[in-house]
Chain A
């Protein structure tokens, strides 16, 4: 049963990743669609990050207080990313801050 689950999951995940890479798939993406898709990276990555940062179990959901170490560290990460544009520096510095105050 575990193996069936693993293989079925693998098939589903791979299919979702490969489907639109297949040239025989009869879709031509219009310029409009490509423009729309150019927003996919910031949109999806933000949608993954937002709940991690803003929603904490302890405070019955939304936590906008300064006690939310996720929010404080994410704000610092945003400022660092904006000013330095350095992925590694932003990641490490904000993680050090996070684990210090968490």
Chain B
């Protein structure tokens, strides 16, 4: 019986892991072109093949990597690259805060692994409200399969090398937009969330038109404040 119980638990873990991998799959597919771009662009910016792959293996942050590579190519100094990285990565502070009640009680090993894997994509599939208990194996399945996808795509980009230069003019950024729309729209179940999304949208566009570096964060925070205040004023149920 004891053996059976263990087998069941392991089976549950595998099931949760696969469920997570499946949930993130559309996002993994959408990120492949970006991984390819990150690989070939890294070579283009003067990194060696090993350095190019190491960036995806160690940093594992798509938008920060691509922006930093552009800056390395332009000969910008380390301090500026770090400040820009800080601006781009600051949204992860919000993600970790939102996941704090779920992940911080877990063991150190889980916290480190899930923290390392906490991308936009993992957050999008793993953050399902505070009532829902996060299964670490589900998050691991999502995070790890996405990590593998990103790194395999980077390797493909390095392998293809300079043969793909015009990749960003193909409109691959739409893949990201499509997946995020597919995730956000069904999550709009209350008027306050709709308001939050609309305010973020308008703010992000305005900030981008004024080329503000912190535009993403400003837009997101403004949207979050709008949603919170609206819910409070109207007494909306959470």
Q: Chain A residues in contact with chain B, CB under 8 A?
A: 1-10, 12-14, 16-23, 27, 29, 32-55, 61-62, 69-70, 73-74, 77-78, 80-82, 85-88, 90-92, 94-95, 98-99, 102
Contact = CB atoms under 8 A, between A and B. Distances in A.
Interface stretch (B5-13, B144-152, B167-175): B167-175
Q: Which of B114, B219, B220 has the most CB atoms of chain A within a 10 A radius of its CB?
A: B220
Tell me what chain B mostly uses at the interface: helix, strand, loop, or mixed: helix
Contacts of B127: 40-41
B96 interface: yes
B36 interface: no
B90 interface: yes
- Shortest 3 CB-CB distances between A and B: which pairs? A81-B185, A20-B96, A18-B115
B160 interface: no
Interface residues of B, number: 93
Contact of A81 (B91, B101, B186): B186
B223 A39 contact: yes
A42 B197 contact: yes
A43 B55 CA distance: 28
B81 A45 contact: no
Contacts of B187: 41-42
B184 A46 contact: yes
A13 to B, nearest CB: 5
